[in-house]
Amino acid sequence: MTMRISRGLLDRLRAEAAAAPDREICGLLLGNAREIADAVAANNVSSSPADSFEIDPQAIFDVVRAARAGGPALIGHYHSHPRGPAEPSLRDREAAIGTPAQLWLIIAGPDLALWRLGEDHEGVRICQRVELVA
Residues serving a catalytic function are 24
Write down the pTM of the prediction: 0.91
The answer to whether the Cα torsion of 106, 37, 16, 46 is positive or negative is: negative
Alpha helices in 47-111, H assignment, sequence order: 57-68, 90-95
29: three-class secondary structure by DSSP? strand
Dist. CA 37–CA 13, nearest whole Å: 13
pLDDT of 99 over the 90 cut? no
The domain made up of 2-133 has a fold known as Cytidine Deaminase; domain 2 (3.40.140)
Question: Following CA atoms 17, 22, 23, 28 in sequence, which dihedral angle do they give, to the nearest 10 degrees?
Answer: 0
* Mean pLDDT value across the chain: 91
pLDDT band at 115 (very low <50, low <70, confident <90, very high): very high
DSSP annotation of 98 = T
pLDDT band (50, 70, 90) for residue 70: very high
Q: Where are the domains of the chain?
A: 2-133
Q: What is the model's pLDDT at position 27? A: 96
56 pLDDT band, cuts 50/70/90, is very high
CA-nearest of 38, 119, 25, 129 to 81 is 25
Residues 107 and 8 sit within 8 Å (Cβ to Cβ): no
Task: Reply yes or no on whether the pLDDT at 101 is more than 60.
Answer: no
